[in-house]
Each structure stands twice: as structure tokens, then as C-alpha cells.
Structure 1
Amino acid sequence: MDLQSAGSVVLQALTQATSQNTAELKPAEEQLRQWETQPGFYSVLLSIFNNHLLDVNVRWLAVLYFKNGIDRYWRRVAPHALSEEEKSSLRSGLITNFNEPVNQIATQIAVLIAKVARLDCPRQWPELIPVLLEKVKVQDVLQQHRALLTFYHVTKTLASKRLAADRRLFQDLASSIYSFACSLWTHHTDTFLLQIHCGDQQEALSSLERTLLSLKVLRKLTVHGFVEPQENMEVMLLDFLEYHPFPFIPLIQRCLEFSVSFVFTAAGDGLLFERFIVQCMNLIKSIVKNEAYRPDKNIEDSKPEVLEAHKIKTAFFTHPTLTEIAKRLVSKYFLLTEEELVMWEEDPEGFAVEETGGDSWKYSLRPCTEVLFLDIFHSYSQTLTPVLLEMMQNLQGPSNVDDMLQLLMKDAVYNAVGLAAYELFDSVDFDQWFNNQLLGELQVTHNRYKLIRRRVIWLIGQWIAVKFKPELRPLLYEVILTLLQDPDLVVSKSHNTVNSFRTEQFLPYLECIFGLLFQLLQQVNECDSKMQVLHVISCVIERVSIQIRPYVGCLVQYLPLLWKQSEDHNMLRCAILTTLIHLVAVGSEENRAVLILFEVKYYSCVSSPPALPFSLRASSISLSSAHSPQNHFYSFFFFAELSSENVRTCFQIVNAYTYLSATEFLQNYGEGLCRSFCELLKDITNEGQVQVLKVVEIALKVRPLLAPHLFQPILPSVFRGIIDGERYPVVMSVYLGVIGRVLLQNSSFFTALLSQMALEFNQEMDQLLGNMIEMWVDRMDNITQPERRKLSSLALLSLLPSDNSVIQDKFCGIINICVEALHDVMTEDPDTGTFKDCMLMNGLEEPKLSDDEEPPTEQDKRRKLLALEDPVHTVSLQQCVYEKLKAQQLLMGESGFQALMETVDTEIVRQLQEFLHGF
């Protein structure tokens, strides 16, 4: 795309794409989508959003397209990747404009520069940091702010990288610029204070923004930029408790005194605000829970600083202090507030969506108080258990519905008992409590008692997995049926106990409960509410499996409508996809319509990061259930663009494609797949390396003639790993499995690979082969799976018969491996004394399924068909050893073969003869 001629065309398309007229909007969006892969497109976008004379909305859209393009096309292995020349030009252009007048656009430009920095800095973009450091010094206020904004986003992004090499690079960067960052923050802080003193509020606000950005940069450098921060005199105390607990030890006592005094005594009355309370509680929690302060069971093995921290904590958290903290947490912070009660009445769905999970405790008061209570109770359960039991005892019996404070207090105490369920296991007879009190409270229908009904059913949900007799569960299911029909929406949504049940006891209630859950799904309006109900529905489907088939028809018909309604709500679509995963897994024919819908809509949500893991998982399930490859080849995922959490699912998808239609899939996507794997293997953990090579191994197993050629770029590193004696057993096991497949099922390719590696190692082929066999024999113990051990034996046996002196020299080792494998796979008939290879499979065998067992998926069937062609499952190791030895004997003659057998240990020979008895 020529920059001069295309600029006006792209500008026009962007202008139309900002239009409210769909007749202009849709064609423009389609045209821009087609241009995304055209060379020069992003250079045109850069020139457009750098032109401050153009419409703001057009420039904003240009920035967004540019930013999205970085995610999709900046990596070298990406399909339609940008050329190195264009990327170099774009990098230069991005750091020439620090005078963007629009704040929102300036922020987006800073973010996209950070995205490029994550991929290219410092190796391909060494000039970025020096340019930013120069720009933050300029006198122009706007340029200084924009450069500082970019500096912050770049620092934040680089600090978030977690690979060891990237962390070292960031630490090098931090040590080189830390002094400058400190002086920058000090300068802006002093300027701000001076301007406040002079009464120049407008300028002071501008300086405050720069002060905050400087502080954020300093925070990232401080927390993530030093291995031993206490040894660096310049480092400030920011987030040290979390990242550097030992330098924090001198501050433990003062922090605890300060926080507890303000939050749990009268000293804080009238002075506190929510965010301050949350920070104080988080500080207490971090000190209590910090594993670094926990001494070893053997005190003598503990570090002195650990003992010092433990001593400080023990001295502070006395019985009176702990008692006061626990009572204040329950009686003050656990109570529902007036605002929450009003919200319950006016917006029950909003109230019922509890703000829990994830990191909500870091920012929100209620989850913060609950997490603090849980951690303190866990750490000091012996002290606090009697305190909580006393609070329970004071609330025995039904509460007065006219005493709102008593109802709120009971709700708070029940909340505490639910949170501490595991700690109270030996102290509370929950079955008796359920029968004598809780069951009766669930049956109180007074409107005010809905607080207790909601809390009790939640409490049971907390205890049901801890201590609840199976014979009481049917009674509980009766209660759930009633509560699902409760007129109060908050109570009817408190159905978390459905997530934990015994299938055989639950089945009589399945139809009614599932029907009521579906009604509730239709009744609620908020996305979070629908997500909660869908989660419970998914749990039920997963637990009862195929038993759900008669009741899912309405849900199957409803999900397409819900999908359409949730177009702007990615997380709800994630919940829908999760439900789809479970529906497809149960294999009902009625689900095919939903599956078709999912396949049509699949890529509309795959591009959205929140939905991606669910989409990938649903795709994996879909492929596992597919009868044929028709309409199942989607655009291929290039793994270097994905986070580690999604790569594993992508591997499952690749395996599913391989099982489904190996030849077509590997021919169409094999080369791109190999390129992605090569890029991944450059910088990956041992576990990740194993996962990649397992995918390669499956391809070799399914198409042994085609796959070695497609994955040829990977195989030399595998061969090299064997010769070099890879020290991680699991990795070595997979290495031997991959090369074993090639050697056993494609000997001509193995010979070519051996020739290539001989040139690399500057050795003769026979010498290198001998080194490989020697290492194979030495590392056989790294292989733990019987299938792989048999594969190794068959692979090395494929070298026989041979008159090659090197192979004959390694004959003893080959026989040792074979005898070890025979011990692994042979079973002896006690009546006849004969041996049988237990790895052999019979295609006529069809295992019988019990009523609760799921029938095999289509992929299970494909795996079995593949196994029927796999030498590991079709060739008797016993017979193979016999035939290979017989052939070697014929080749060498009786005397020569006898001399060869004498190189084998006599005990190994005796065991071998036992296995071959009868041949």
C-alpha cells in the first residue's frame, strides 16, 4: 500500500467507519478489515493519527486499528506479519510525536507504544528508553506529560514480563535509570508543592498529574527492578511487604499498631473512610498470611529473620487483641449496611451479585473484611474458635422479626461460621444444628426473615462439603426446591448448594430443580445474574452427565436467543460457551443446533480476550464430538500470539484436528504449525517444551511418512538433546519418544536425519548412531510409561539384524532395554505359565458401559482406531525380540551370534530365555 496514494482512501474509509449511518459504516469496516494485512496500511494509520488537523473520532479509530494490528501482525511468526522494514519505520514514527493534544488519544498511543516495546525493546528498539528519558526533560509541559505517560506505560509493560531473561533485562534497565526516576519524582513533587503554596491551582493540577505518573514509574522500578532491594540504598519502601518481606521486618510492629488502632479501636471513630480501612486490613492480612514469616517445623532450620518476624507477630497478636479484632470484624464490618438493605429492595439482582473472587479483596470493603477474618481465624483458630462459638450460642433459636439489629447480627455470625467451616469441623455438630435450628429458620416465611433464609442456604453450601450426612441431603433438596420459588429474588438466587450433591440422591429432584433453574435464568435480567445461574446449570449438567438429556431441550432452544442478546457482554458469552461445552460433552442429539450456532458465531468472540479460553475449549469439545472433518477447519491459531493459559487448549485442538483428518490438516497447516512451534521453543519452560513435542509425537504416530518432513526443523534439536544428555527426565522421555517414532516407522527419514546431524557434530554416521544408542540405554529409566518403554524397545530392535560393528557393539544395551520392557508389558498366565503382551489391542473388543458411564466420544473412537495401527499395540514385543534375534543369528552364523550373546549379562540372558520360552 503506497503511503502517498493510499492516505486519502484510508482516511475516507475511517471517516465512514465513524458514521452513524450503517449503510456507510458496514462497508467501511469490511474494507478496513481487508486492508489490515496489506503492507503499508499501518504506516498510513500512523500518518493519520499523527495529523492533529483531522477529526478526533477518525484519529481515535486509526489509533485503535493500529493497536489491534500490533496484537495480530507484529510478531514475526504471525500470519501476514508486518515486514521488518515497515516495523522499523513505524517504531521511528511512534517516538517523534509527543505533542498529542487529546488526552484519550495520547493514552492509546502510549499503550500501543508499550505493546511494541513488550515485543521489541530493547533488542530491536534500543533507542526507545533514551528518547523517552530525553523527552521527559523538555520544558514544554504538554510534551513532558505525553513523554512521561508513555514512559509509565512502557515501564509497566516491561515490568509485567515474567521470563527469567526478560526480568534480567528489566533489572538492568532499573539499575541504570532509577536515580533519574527518583529525581524526576522529587522535581515534580517539589514543583507541585510550590505551586500549591503560591495558589496556582491550574498549574498545580498539571504538576500533580506528572507527579503521579513519576511515582507510578518509580513503583514499577522499585518493586520489579531489583533482586535484593535492601542492598540498594536508593530503593524506596513501595509494595515491599508483598515482594520483599524481609526488609519489611523492622516495620511490622509499627504497621500493626497503626492499622489495628485505627480499624479495630475507638481511635478511628469518625476518622476513617473505606479505602483507608481496606488498605489497613490488607496490610494486617499480608503480615498474618505471609509465608516468609512462618518458621519451619524444626525451629533450628529457620532463618534468624524469620524467627524475628514470628516473634514480633506472636507478641502483638495476644488473646485480647485477637478477640477484639474478631468481634469487631463480625459485629461491625460484617453487618449489612443501610445502603445494602436499600439496594436489596430496589435492585435485588445488583445486590445478589456478590463482589467476591479474584482480587476484589484488595479494593472492596466487604470481601476485604471476609478474607482478613478467614486468614486470622486460620492462623489463630485455637484462640478464636471459642469466641465464635460463644457468638453462635448467644443467637440460638429463632430471632425476633421486629428486631432488625438481631437479624443483622445473626446474618453476620452465620457468615463467619460459614467462612470458618473447615476450622470449625471438630467444634460444631453441623448435622444436629441443621436439624434443630437451621431447617426451621429456612421455613420462616416472614418478609424480614429473608435475610436469614438467604444466609442459611449459603451457610449450608459452605458446610456441605465439610460435614453433612448423606441421609440429610434429600431433605436439603426439598428445601432448595422451595427456595428456588421464593418470591424474593435474592433468596431464590442463593442456590450455591446445588453445586455440591451426590448424583444418585439428586436424580429424583433433577427435573424439578433444573426446570426452576431454567425459569430463573429467563427471569433475571442482569448479565451477572444470568452468569451465576448458567454456572449452576453447567455444574448440574457436568455432574449428572447423560442423565440430563431428557430435560435440556428448552435450554438448547433458549441459548441462541441469549447469545444474540449478549452481543455486547463478553463475559456472559463466556458463560454461555461454558454451558455449551457441557451440553456438547453429554452428546445429546438435540444439542447439534446449538453447536452449529456456536460454529457460526465462533470467531465473532474469539478475538475478544475474555471469551478466548472458553471459545477454544468449546472448539476442542466440538472437534472431539465431530463425526467428519466437514466445516471444522477454522483459521489456524499461531501460538506465539497466545497466552500460556490458552496454548494448552490450542494443543488439544491441534490434536483433535490431527485425529479427525490428519492428512488434510497437516498438509494445509503443518508448515505454519511448525513455524509457530519453532518460535515457541526458543524461550519456553520444560513443561511447555514437553507439550509442544507431544503434539509432534501424535502427528508422527498418525502420519509417520508425512509428519517427519513437516516437522523436520524441530527434529535436529530433539536429536541434539538426546546426544547432549538432556538432564530433565520428562523432556528426555519425550525426546526418545519422538526419535523412536521416526526410527521405527520411517527409517529412511531417520537415516537422512542421522546424516545431517553427523555433519553438524563432525562425526561419522555410525559413530553418532552408537553415541545415540548408548545415551538411549543410559536414560531408559527416564521413561516411565510402559507404552513409551515398549516403543523404545521396538525402535532399537528395528536396527536388527545388522552387520554394522557399531550396532553389534551396542547389542548388549539393546537387549537390556528389551528385557526391561518385557517386564513392563508381559503378563503371565498362572495356569499355563505362558506370557502375553498386555499392550496388544483387539479391534473386536467393545467394553461394556455401566448406566453412569458416558459412551466414548468420536475422538475416543478415532484414538482406538489409530491404536489398532500403532506398532506399540499391534506388534508383540515377545515375538519381535524372538524374530530379530533369529534374524541376527542367521546373518552372523551360530558361532558369531553366540559370541554376541556372551556380551550380555548372564542374568539378563536367563530372563530373556524365560520370556521366549515356547518359541
Structure 2
Amino acid sequence: MDMDSASTVVLQALTQATSQDTALLKPAEEQLRQWETQPGFYSVLLNIFTNHLLDVNVRWLAVLYFKNGIDRYWRRVAPHALSEEEKTSLRAGLITNFNEPVNQIATQIAVLIAKVARLDCPRQWPELIPILLESVKGQGGLPQHRALLTFYHVTKTLASKRLAQDKRLFQDLASGIYSFACSLWSHHTDCFLQHVYATPRDEAATLGSLERTLLSLKVLRKLTVHGFQEPQQNLEVMGFLNAVFERLKQFLECCRHLGPDSSCREKLEKTIILYTKVLLDFLECHPCPFIPLIQRSLEFAVSYVFTPVGEGVAFERFTVQCMNLMKMIVKNDAYKPAKNIEDSKAESLEAHKIKTAFFTHATLTEIGRRLVSHYFLLTEEEVAMWEEDPESFAVEETGGDSWKYSLRPCTEVLFLDLFHNYSQTLTPVLLEMVQNLQGPTNVEDPVQLLMKDAVYNAVGLAAYELFDNVDFDTWFKNQLLGELQVGHHRYKLIRRRVIWLIGQWISVKFKSDLRPLLYEAILSLMQDPDLVVRIETASTLKLTVDDFEFRTEQFLPYLESIFGLLFQLLQQVTECDTKMQVLHVISCVIERVSIQIKPYVGCLVQYLPLLWKQSEEHNMLRCAILTTLVHLVQGLGAESKNLYPFLLPVIQLSTDVSQPPHVYLLEDGLELWLVTLENSPAVTPELLRIFLNMSALFELSSENLRTCFQIVNAYMYLSVTQFLQNYGEALCRSFCDLLKDITNEGQVQVLKVVEIALKVSPVLSTHTFQPLLPYVFRGVVEGERYPVVMSTYLGIMGRVLLQNSSFFSSLLTQMASEFHQEINHLLGAVIEMWVDRMDNITQPERRKLSALALLSLLPSEHSVIQDKFCGIVNICVEALHDVMTEDPDTATFKDCMLMSHLEEPKLSDDEEPPTEQDKRKKLLALQDPVHSVPMQQYVYEKLTAQQAGMGDQAFAALMETVDTEIVRQLQQFLQAV
């Protein structure tokens, strides 16, 4: 097909693909997808998007298809890669003329050229940079702007490559074009400044000139930060960086001159921010070369942020950047001397000297005061937000990286870093500010109220630094408690700040016996008329309850009232984030007071189903509800069965992988499923039915597998017969699949579940997991290398041999035919391997089990067992050493693994009471041979029976095969039987 007819078909498909009508859209998209790998397709797309007469949406789509094609088919090694001939003609076509009239398409074409450059520059495309430079020098107008735009995207892309060889190539490029880039930027900057101050001013020309200034500065930023290994040795680089300060002042003055309504205002602020980014990036990548700029940077930032110089020109994002510049200089490790001054690098000492000379006592005092008394004050917007949207105000996000972009977190972080590094100077400044504000503040004086809020904020942020200088307990009793009792509505500012402040100090310094006073205050503030105060109080409650010093008995008198008020707050707030925050507090309270929550959860149990229903669109809120339910079930214990009508559908939905929300809810849902089973007094049909979700979860085999295995175990402890009759066969299939393709650690997890099943119900479980047992048997005979896996194999074998010996015989027969061996020979091999690998077994339970299992083969007339008799006795003596403890009074030995029904352990205050599952495990242990058969008694009976069966003389000969020292130890253990 020739080019023209190809263009016509592709054009038609692209036109249909921009249609709103799906009947046209879908087949067109399908058709275009098939063409993606056809030779010539991208040449047609290039013709289409460079044809300015065509519809702009069609051209836009053509650019996008072209861009996606570069990602997929441009590399030589890609499947369906483009031919070298086509790529050569495409490269040439992309840079023949820079005259795209539509801004968005121009940007996409620039990005697309940069993508090709990333792969082909400089080797396959040496002419790209020279052509760009030529066009950038050109005669102004559109082509110059578009070439500059492309030049920027190419530079940005090449600067982002991280391999050593690519970095070197970029450095070569930078050193070749840096002078040109500098003069280009200077030229456009001067032009812009002439336009700004010309009368009359041509707005369009001013804006166009500013655009070019911005683009050339973007290029220069990438070259400066990434283009030089040792930038401090390059005069032009350092010259440019020093010029940045002058230019910044000029551009800030332009802001004043042009005023806030100028059409250039947005671009102008962008350019100013870009200048500050040059400094910040350079400081981050090259801290030592930056040292000569520290003095100017600090002078510049401090004058614009903390003196009248900035008035009328500094805008918020600029202030944030200046503060970040200060913060990065103050905090930079490269600028601090080592602990031993002698070990310090010369550069570090130099930087430290510059900083020390700059941050004089007077400067620091002024900065500290200004930060608190000016930047910490709540703004008019914030006060309005408090009134109009209290929830958004209360849950303001200040975590993570927000200090890089937002003024309040940024000032707080700067304050903390300065305080940390210069606490000797700043502590007295802050304490004096506190001193000046003692006593209640006049509610008619809004300035004083805002000032006290700001100062208390500072004392809360610096709590760790102020540890030695503030007697918080006395302050709390004599001043802060009184402030919390001022009920005037304007004083809510201080009530909220004081309760927040106490939360900040709780874990730093707060006497335990003052807690009841704090709980009284919390109880009162949870009923404050102001919602923001109530939300803040809930947050402080969480910090109090979550603290190491928390004592349940101090809190119990307030539990009922506070829990009720928290619950009211949960109903009063409407935003998803706030509900989550309050739920976290409730969760935390339930978790800390544990079973003492039982009497008070009625209201919550009625409301949570409603909240769950309402939160259908909010998965994160649902996660918070799941976490609350986990703690609730743990607190309720067996009584949690009353929640099943709500609880079980929630677990069912959260763990069903065919339901979309499982992506968010699965982990918490599994946790809830597990604690529900652990606390369940008895199985119900609904509880059993949820297990239908499990086989799909095994197929996911994700990081949640461990919890899935714990859930299976919990079902077996709860009701092994019903569980295995319903699901045993499917479970065994899942396990067989898992074992084919899993790590050693994973194998151990799977096999432990089988081991527990055999412990809970030896006969039914042997039958259920029959298909899996040959796998274990083979592992034993072949001597599995990995000790922990081998130990688990032997644990399973021991259970089968000891508790279902008839099945063991049939398994032995089955395996003998598989191995083409005689049964006796195979049994001998198993016993030999067992004796040999006994050291792999570290758990005392499994060691005793192994001894009991091997002893259960006696008495026997089998020659093979008599052959292995010595090994069996060795294992028995080892196990006796493991489990027998000497009673010093009677000098007799007793088996320490035996359990009696009588032991009901007394719980200390901090210990969790046993769950229903703990009780089930205890009952099970009482029937387990490991805990119910006395070891020395069993050894004695088995050996006596062997002796009776074969006669004294033959038995004596058999005993002579055993090492005399082992025999002596055996007699010592058995003398008291």
C-alpha cells in the first residue's frame, strides 16, 4: 500500500477513535492496536501530526500513539522493533521544522523527541543537539520557542540517566554547551526585564520573553546540577550560581512592579521558584561545592523571610523555599564537625565556621521570635476554616513531605531543626515568651489569644529539647489545667492548643499520678461545645492510652463515660478521615483495657454495622472498622459470638478475592477472621461456610499465607471433625499444589498445619492427608538436606507411627513398592535416618515424640528392629535427658512435659487472659501422648516387654549392642520406676 492510501486509512481510524460513540470508537482502537507493529505505521503518524490543517484531536491522538510506540518498539532488541531505515527517516522528520502552533501538541512532540534521544543520543543521532542549538539561536518567533522547549526536554531526559557511562556522556554534553546555555539565559532574562520596564508595556511580548527565560533557566538548572563532577572548579558554573541571587532580587522587584493582577504573575512566580530550586538542588547534590554559597544563601533567605525586605514581594511558596534552604544548611551533616574535632574534614570545619559566624546570638534570637510570633500565628484563612469546616481544620495533614510545599509544616520543621542545633540560645527565648503569657488571657484580646496559641505550639513541638528546662508537672497543675476550664467560646483556641500540648508532653515527661487529673480534663473537654476541641481531645486521649506509663486501673473509673463520648463523636463527625481518626482512638482504648471493655460496647456494636454500610465507597475507613473489630473481638472473648450476624458477613466480603474491595480489606479481614476463630466458643455453620474463600487465597500464595495457615489451625482446634469432613479433601489438594512450588520456609508452614491436624485428630487426619504423606515419607528416606524441613517431616512421621500404627504399616507397604524395596529393608532405612537426623530436631516436644514413636515398635521379633535396637535406645536416652528434671528433695527424676488437669495458672495484671483457643489447646495437650505418657515409665514397659518376649539371655545379648555409658545412664533414669 502506498503512503497516501495508508495515510487515508489511518486518518480515518484516528478520526473514529476520537469519537464519543463507542460503536465507532472500539473497532477503531482495535484496528490501531493491530497496526502498531506494522512497518510504516509511525511514518504515517508523523505525517498526520505534523499536518496543521487536520483536526487538533486527531493530531493529538497520533502523537500519543507515536509516543507509546517509542516505549514499545524503538529499542533494537524489542519484539517487532522498528527497522533502522524507518527510525532514521523518523528522526530526520521529527526535527525538520519547529513550528507546531498548538501548545499541548508542541509539548508532546518535545517529550517524544526526548524519548528517542534517551535511546539514540549521541551515537545514532549526533545531529540532534547541533540542530537544536542552531534553531534556538534563530530569529525569535515560534520556531525559536519550540526548539527551546525541545532542548529543555532533551536535556532533562539525558540528565536523568544514571549509569556511569551515560553520566559521562551528559557531562561531555554539558561542558560543550554550558557557555551557550548561560548566554542564552542571560539574553532572554535581559530582554524580559527590558519589556517589564518599557512604557507602554507590550503584555504579549513580555509573557513570550518570560517563557523563553523560564525554558532556558530550566535547561541551565539540569546542566548545572547534573553536568559537572567537580562544579566548584568551573568558573562559569560558580558564576551562574552567584548570579542567581542578583536575578532573584530583580525578579522579586518585578513582582512588586507588575502587581498581583498582571498576566505574567503566575509565570513570574514559577520562575522565582525555579531559581530557588537551582540552589536547593545544587545544595542537595553537591554539599561541599555549595560551601562558598552558604553565606549568601543564609543572608538572602533570612532577609526575605525575617526582615522588612520581604514585605510586599515574598509570596508563600517562595517563603517555603527560603526556609527549606535555611533548614538544609542548618541540618546538613557535611557542614558539621566530627565528634573529635581532629577527625573533621577541612570543608566541614569551613562550613561550620561560616554558619557559626552567621547565626549569632542576636540573629538566632530574632529568627526564633519571628518564627513563633509571626509564622506560628493562625492565619485568617485558618480561623475561617475552623469555623466553616472544623473537620478539615482538625485533621490537617502535616506528615510526610508536606514541609517541602506548605508553609505551616515548613515553619514548624525549620523551628525544630534550629532549636535542635541551637537549643542553648533558643531555649531562654522561648521560655521568656511563655513567662510573658502566664495566667489566663483576656478573651477580648484576639492578638494575645493567637500569640499564646503560637507559643504553646512551640513548647509542644520542642518538648524533647525542653525536657530539662520545663517542670511540666507543676505547669500542668498550676497553669494548664486552669486554662482548660475557661469555657468562653473564644477561648476554644487555647483549650484546643493546651490539650494538644499535653499530648505532646505525655511521653516526654508527665508524672503517672497526675493521670486521673488528665482523665477528668479529657472527660470534660470531650463535651466541649467546639468540635475541633473534641477531636483534638480524642487524639490526646489516644496518646495517653498508648503511652508506656498507662495503667488500666487509673483509667477504669472514666472508661464508661469517655467511651460513650468517643462513640458520640464518631457519630457526630461526617468526613471519612475524621471517622477513621476517631475509630483509631476507640480501637486503641479497646486494645489497652482488653476484657474490661465488655460492659460498654453495646452502643458501638449497634452502630458499627450502620457505619460499615455507609462506608461502602471508603475502603480505608472500612480497614479502620476491621481493626476496631479485631480489638473488639479480643476484648469480648467468647461473648463475641453475639456479633456473628454482623461479623461473619464482614469477614466473608473482606476475604473473598472475587470481590473488588478485597484488594484493600484482605489483610485486616484475615486478621479479623483469625481472632474470631480464636475467641469462638463453638463452631457455627456460617463460620464454617466462610472457609469456602480459602482455596482462592492459597492460590494467591501472597504474604498473607502465614495468617491463612493460622486460620486453618484455628478451625482444626475449634471443630476438627466437621471441618475436615467438609473441607479436608480440598485442603489437601491445595497443600499438594503449594508444596510443588514454595520455599523451604513455606514448606515448613504447610507441614506444621498437617502436624497439628494429626495432633488434634490422628485417625481422621491421616485419612484426610493421605495423598500428602508419601511426599513426607520420601523426604525422610532420602534424608532431606534442610534441617528444619526434616524436623517437621519427622514430627509428622512420629505422629502417624505413634497414633495410627496400622496406617503406618500400609504406608510402608505402599512406599516399599514405589521404591522397589523389601518392607523390612525400607523400615530399617527409615529408623536409621531417624536416628541419624535426631539432631535436626530442636523442639523438646518433637524429640520426646520421636522417642515414643520409635519405642512403639517394641516389643518386636523383627530382625530389622533388633538390628536397629541400639539406635532406638540411644534416642530414648537422649529424650530422657531432654525431658527429665531431678527433684532435689527426693533425688528422683520426673518428666517435665507431663501436664495435669489441676494447673490453673494465676494471671498477673499485665497478662492477657487465655482465649477460647488457648483453652482448647490446653485440653488437647492433656490427651497428647507427649504430655500424658510418662517417658521413663514407657521406656521401662517397652524394654521389659521386649525382654519377656525374647528371654533374658537373648535380651542381654541385645543390650550388649548398646554403648556401656548409654546403658549406665538408662539405668540411672529407670531406677525409680
> TM-score interval w.r.t. the shorter chain?
0.5 to 0.7
Map 1:309-708 → 2, pairs under 5 A: 327=368, 336-355=378-397, 384=423, 387-388=426-427, 390-396=429-435, 397-398=438-439, 400=441, 411=453, 414-415=456-457, 417-419=459-461, 421=463, 425=467, 428-494=470-536, 495-499=538-542, 500=545, 501-587=550-636, 592-606=641-655, 607=659, 608=661, 609-624=663-678, 625-632=680-687, 633-634=689-690, 635-637=692-694, 638-640=696-698, 642=700, 644-678=702-736, 680-681=738-739, 687-708=745-766
Superposition deviation, residue 817 in structure 1:
3.9
Superposition deviation, residue 794 in structure 1:
2.5
Provide the C-alpha distance between the structure 2 equivalents of 1:907 and 1:888, rounded to a whole number of angstroms. 21
1:881 and 1:544, CA in 2 relative to 1: closer, same or farther beyond 3 A? Answer: same
Q: Indicate if the aligned counterparts of 2:324 and 2:404 stay in contact, CA closer than 8 A.
A: no
Superposition deviation, residue 506 in structure 1:
0.8
Superposition deviation, residue 649 in structure 1:
2.9
1:631 and 1:896, CA in 2 relative to 1: closer, same or farther beyond 3 A? Answer: same
1:740 and 1:589, CA in 2 relative to 1: closer, same or farther beyond 3 A? Answer: closer
Q: Indicate if the aligned counterparts of 2:515 and 2:554 stay in contact, CA closer than 8 A.
A: yes
Map 1:802-881 → 2, pairs under 5 A: 802=860, 811-843=869-901, 846-847=904-905, 856-881=914-939
Provide the C-alpha distance between the structure 2 equivalents of 1:672 and 1:279, rounded to a whole number of angstroms. 64
Superposition deviation, residue 531 in structure 1:
2.0
Superposition deviation, residue 876 in structure 1:
1.9
Q: Indicate if the aligned counterparts of 1:620 and 1:656 stay in contact, CA closer than 8 A.
A: yes
Q: Indicate if the aligned counterparts of 1:138 and 1:144 stay in contact, CA closer than 8 A.
A: no
Q: Indicate if the aligned counterparts of 2:597 and 2:636 stay in contact, CA closer than 8 A.
A: no
Q: Indicate if the aligned counterparts of 1:253 and 1:316 stay in contact, CA closer than 8 A.
A: no
The residue identity in structure 2 corresponding to 1:832 is: T
Q: Deviations over 1:597-627 (max 9, x none)?
A: 2323544454312222232222223223142
Superposition deviation, residue 855 in structure 1:
5.6
Q: Deviations over 1:359-398 (max 9, x none)?
A: 7778766567767877x58xx9575476356424432324
What secondary structure is seen at the aligned counterpart in 1 of 2:616? coil
Q: Deviations over 1:106-164 (max 9, x none)?
A: xxxxxxxxxxxxxxxxxxxxxxxx97999989836746635856998x99xxxxxxxxx
What secondary structure is seen at the aligned counterpart in 1 of 2:894? strand
Superposition deviation, residue 264 in structure 1:
5.7
Q: Which residue of 2 aligns with 1:139?
A: 45
Q: Deviations over 1:564-612 (max 9, x none)?
A: 3223222223333333333332337876554312323544454312222
Superposition deviation, residue 479 in structure 1:
1.0
Provide the C-alpha distance between the structure 1 equivalents of 2:28 and 2:727, rounded to a whole number of angstroms. 35
Question: Greater CA deviation, 707-716 or 522-531?
Answer: 707-716
Superposition deviation, residue 457 in structure 1:
2.0
1:612 and 1:314, CA in 2 relative to 1: closer, same or farther beyond 3 A? Answer: farther
The residue identity in structure 2 corresponding to 1:513 is: I
The residue identity in structure 2 corresponding to 1:655 is: N
Q: Deviations over 1:66-120 (max 9, x none)?
A: xxxxxxxxxxxxxxxxxxxxxxxxxxx999665599xxxxxxxxxxxxxxxxxxx
1:526 and 1:792, CA in 2 relative to 1: closer, same or farther beyond 3 A? Answer: same
Provide the C-alpha distance between the structure 2 equivalents of 1:287 and 1:684, rounded to a whole number of angstroms. 50
1:668 and 1:498, CA in 2 relative to 1: closer, same or farther beyond 3 A? Answer: same
What secondary structure is seen at the aligned counterpart in 2 of 1:387? helix
Sequence identity percentage: 58
Q: Which residue of 1 aligns with 2:109?
A: 207
Q: Indicate if the aligned counterparts of 2:637 and 2:915 stay in contact, CA closer than 8 A.
A: no
Q: Indicate if the aligned counterparts of 1:188 and 1:211 stay in contact, CA closer than 8 A.
A: no
TM-score, length-normalised on structure 2? 0.64
Map 1:139-178 → 2, pairs under 5 A: 139=45, 142=61, 145=64
Q: Indicate if the aligned counterparts of 2:403 and 2:409 stay in contact, CA closer than 8 A.
A: yes
Structure 1 portions without partners, runs of 5+: 1-50, 63-92, 102-129, 156-172, 242-247
Superposition deviation, residue 249 in structure 1:
9.7
Q: Which residue of 2 aligns with 1:67?
A: none
Provide the C-alpha distance between the structure 2 equivalents of 1:339 and 1:573, rounded to a whole number of angstroms. 32
Provide the C-alpha distance between the structure 2 equivalents of 1:231 and 1:724, rounded to a whole number of angstroms. 51
Provide the C-alpha distance between the structure 2 equivalents of 1:314 and 1:392, rounded to a whole number of angstroms. 27
Provide the C-alpha distance between the structure 2 equivalents of 1:815 and 1:296, rounded to a whole number of angstroms. 65
What secondary structure is seen at the aligned counterpart in 1 of 2:879? helix
Structure 2 portions without partners, runs of 5+: 1-15, 47-59, 121-152, 172-221, 227-282
Higher relative contact order (CA 8 A, sep 6+): 1
Q: Which residue of 1 aligns with 2:185?
A: none
Q: Which residue of 1 aligns with 2:264?
A: none
The residue identity in structure 2 corresponding to 1:459 is: L
The residue identity in structure 2 corresponding to 1:344 is: W
TM-score, length-normalised on structure 1? 0.68
Superposition deviation, residue 492 in structure 1:
1.1
Question: Greater CA deviation, 335-344 or 524-533?
Answer: 335-344
The residue identity in structure 2 corresponding to 1:340 is: E
Superposition deviation, residue 348 in structure 1:
0.6
The residue identity in structure 2 corresponding to 1:587 is: L
The residue identity in structure 1 corresponding to 2:541 is: V
Provide the C-alpha distance between the structure 1 equivalents of 2:325 and 2:868, rounded to a whole number of angstroms. 64
1:805 and 1:603, CA in 2 relative to 1: closer, same or farther beyond 3 A? Answer: same
Q: Indicate if the aligned counterparts of 2:385 and 2:393 stay in contact, CA closer than 8 A.
A: yes
1:795 and 1:232, CA in 2 relative to 1: closer, same or farther beyond 3 A? Answer: farther
Q: Indicate if the aligned counterparts of 2:499 and 2:540 stay in contact, CA closer than 8 A.
A: yes
Q: Indicate if the aligned counterparts of 2:335 and 2:348 stay in contact, CA closer than 8 A.
A: yes
The residue identity in structure 1 corresponding to 2:892 is: T
Two-structure CA RMSD over aligned residues (Å): 5.9
1:133 and 1:785, CA in 2 relative to 1: closer, same or farther beyond 3 A? Answer: farther
Question: Greater CA deviation, 787-796 or 473-482?
Answer: 787-796
The residue identity in structure 2 corresponding to 1:530 is: K
The residue identity in structure 1 corresponding to 2:686 is: N
Q: Deviations over 1:727-746 (max 9, x none)?
A: 76655544443343334334
The residue identity in structure 1 corresponding to 2:433 is: N
1:143 and 1:408, CA in 2 relative to 1: closer, same or farther beyond 3 A? Answer: same
Provide the C-alpha distance between the structure 1 equivalents of 2:615 and 2:908, rounded to a whole number of angstroms. 39
